[in-house]
Amino acid sequence: MSEDKPKPIRRKTTGLGRGLDALLGEAINERPAVSDIQVGEAQSSLQRRKPTHSIIMIAIGDISPHPDQPRRHFDDEQLNELAQSIAQHGIIQPIVLRPFEGRYQLVAGERRWRAAQRARLHEVPAIVKPFTNKETIEIALIENIQREDLNPIEEAEAYLRLSEDFGYNHSELAKLVDKSRSHVTNMLRLVDLESSVRDLVIGGKISMGHARALLKSDNMGDLAQQIVKKGLSVRQTEALARREKPQRKNLKQLKSVPQEASADIKAIENHLGDLLGLKVNIEQGKNAASGTVTFEYKSLDQLDMLCQRLTGEPF
């Protein structure tokens, strides 16, 4: 009786747009066990290596970062923690590279590559494929969004790059990363922030909700400093931004209570939409203490992501 061959381990689907599976192919799904990677047989000369879809060992010194990598900020403490883990356990997931100008260029996995250098590794496991510039940006964006590694400004700049250089419209970008079109549109608006305000968003000192409110202000830099200094909420920031606009006479005739309630509801809708990447609609009932919340999804993957977030399951 012949022995059954072990089945290749399949990676759980991520449920994000086209996903890395579609871009990387079967190599990312059928990863050989660590014992199957012949580290000792790794070739030392770059010229002797041929691009392949299998996992091979590549010298760290032969790898260069991509200049248009969406993620620009790497937390030093987190890198040290990852380096310690890599030093002890090795790199579990291979990085992704493409041949470039006689060397290799990073497509996905820069954080692991940086940590591997701190762990003083000489080689790293990698998948090598001849990706185009467009595919390279797509994969880097998808991987970082899957891992929730991008701050809002980095995500916005990545969308802008795909839009300007490769002709993506908002609907196509939304489909690529499996987010709502309104989410992509709102993110792209962040590129209009002043540089000082963008730095505050990158540093986590103000939220995306604050930043979106500041876009309505003619003096966003000073207002941003007030947010940081006074610890203003998004609701308070929106109120200050509105006060800067000229008031029309007929606005005095409107009742203040419905306006305040409507603004609060809109702020909550925007906040939930930013967190989930979906369009959210809240309708109040006959009294302010009741109502309905509606989440709009355009694919089963989006529904699955929503269920996982609501139940707290890992994804």
Supply 97's token pair.
């590279």
- Residue 7 has what pLDDT? 44
Provide the CB-side half-sphere exposure for 226 (13 A, CA).
Answer: 17
Residue 260 appears among annotated catalytic residues: no
List the one residue out of 71, 70, 90 whose CA is nearest residue 82. 90
Give 140-196 pLDDT, tens digit per residue: 877 777 666 678 888 888 888 888 888 889 998 888 888 888 889 988 999 889 989
Residue indicated by tokens 């979106």: 212
pLDDT of residue 30 exceeding 60: no
Give 194-242 pLDDT, tens digit per residue: 989 998 988 889 988 898 889 888 888 899 999 999 998 988 888 888 8
- Taking the model in full, what pTM does it have? 0.53
Angle made by CA atoms 32, 149, 135, in degrees to the nearest 5: 60
Give 266-310 pLDDT, tens digit per residue: 777 777 777 777 788 888 776 666 778 888 877 776 777 777 777
* Active-site annotation holder among 3, 77, 110, 123: 110
Angle made by CA atoms 159, 163, 165, in degrees to the nearest 5: 115
